[in-house]
């Protein structure tokens, strides 16, 4: 069961229910990565985009990571650009920043068209279950003439978590909602995952219960070290949340 304790839970659930038909001819094809082709990845710096990237790199060449920023501050996961640059160095994939949310930005269209002119054929996304968001990204790719690829689409959470372990994915719970505030700053391991499964939340964080910071992955050259300086309570348009102030390094 999914919790509706925060306004974000309600908002995301309504969005998931609002549009029930995926605007793509073959969901299986949507999950496939074109072999031996060049692609770019929409990359947030969290677990889902990291897992999708790892899967894509098995059979294709990812030439760039695209992160959405607002006033030079990465969106969605409260990361700073210093962390994003560290992840980029460890991945040995350059990162570029698109100003504004991907839903509204015209800048990201320009970036994608530029990469297409350089031989890129597809875009990797970390989407799992939001049909509305998936349809927006499918349309974005169609508008610029690229193939959308969502290797995590419609997979079970248990499959995804096992795949995370298989690929040495380590992530920090860097932003959490009130119902799991005691877990802020913790590593998402087996014990915490099992605890989340027993709670009345979406235990993979798909209803906005938490956001994560990617620290290690099978395709990282080096893990990201971290030191938590403080934990603080703040608020956004969806309500209260707890976040960490951390220092990251090689």
Q: Which residue has the higher pLDDT, 5 or 74?
A: 74
What is the distance between the alpha carbons of residues 106 and 127, in angstroms, rounded to a whole number?
21
Q: Which residue has the higher pLDDT, 79 or 97?
A: 97
pLDDT above 70 for 17? no
Local confidence band at 3 (pLDDT 50, 70, 90 cut-offs): very low
The answer to whether 51 touches 218, Cβ cutoff 8 Å, is: no
pLDDT above 50 for 14? no
pLDDT above 70 for 214? yes
pLDDT at 6: 35
pLDDT at 101: 64
Name, in order, each residue with C-beta under 8 angstroms of 18's C-beta and a sequence gap of 6 or more. 132
pLDDT per residue over 234-245, tens digit each? 998 889 999 999
Long-range own/partner contacts, residues 35-38 (CB < 8 A, 24 or more apart) = 35/59, 35/60, 36/60, 36/61, 37/61, 37/121, 37/122, 38/62, 38/63, 38/118, 38/119, 38/120, 38/121
Local confidence band at 72 (pLDDT 50, 70, 90 cut-offs): low
Bridge partners (DSSP) of residue 247 are: 227
Bridge partners (DSSP) of residue 233 are: 242
pLDDT at 157: 96
CB atoms within 10 A of CB 238: 15
Tokens 């703040």 locate to 234
Local confidence band at 189 (pLDDT 50, 70, 90 cut-offs): very high
pLDDT above 90 for 4? no
> Mean of the per-residue pLDDT values for the chain?
89
- pTM for the whole thing? 0.89
């Amino acid at each position: 069961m999914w919790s509706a304790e925060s306004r974000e839970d309600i908002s995301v659930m309504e969005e998931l229910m609002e549009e029930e038909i995926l605007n793509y001819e073959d969901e299986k094809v949507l999950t496939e990565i074109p072999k031996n082709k060049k692609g770019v990845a929409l990359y947030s710096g969290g677990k889902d985009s990291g897992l999708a990237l790892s899967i894509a790199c098995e059979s294709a060449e990812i030439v760039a990571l695209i992160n959405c920023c607002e006033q030079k501050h990465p969106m969605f996961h409260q990361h700073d650009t210093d962390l994003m640059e560290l992840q980029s160095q460890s991945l040995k994939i350059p990162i570029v920043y698109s100003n504004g949310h991907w839903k509204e930005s015209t800048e990201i269209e320009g970036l994608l068209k530029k990469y297409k002119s350089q031989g890129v054929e597809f875009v990797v996304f970390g989407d799992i279950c939001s049909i509305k968001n998936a349809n927006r990204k499918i349309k974005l790719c169609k508008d610029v003439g690229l193939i959308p690829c969502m290797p995590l689409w419609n997979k079970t959470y248990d499959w995804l978590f096992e795949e995370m372990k298989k690929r040495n994915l380590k992530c920090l719970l860097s932003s959490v909602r009130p119902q799991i505030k005691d877990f802020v700053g913790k590593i998402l391991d087996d014990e915490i995952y099992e605890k989340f499964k027993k709670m009345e939340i979406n235990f993979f964080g798909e209803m906005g219960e938490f956001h994560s910071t990617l620290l290690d992955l099978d395709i990282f050259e080096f893990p990201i070290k971290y030191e938590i300086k403080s934990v603080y309570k703040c608020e956004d348009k969806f309500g209260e949340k707890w976040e960490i102030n951390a220092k990251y390094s090689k």
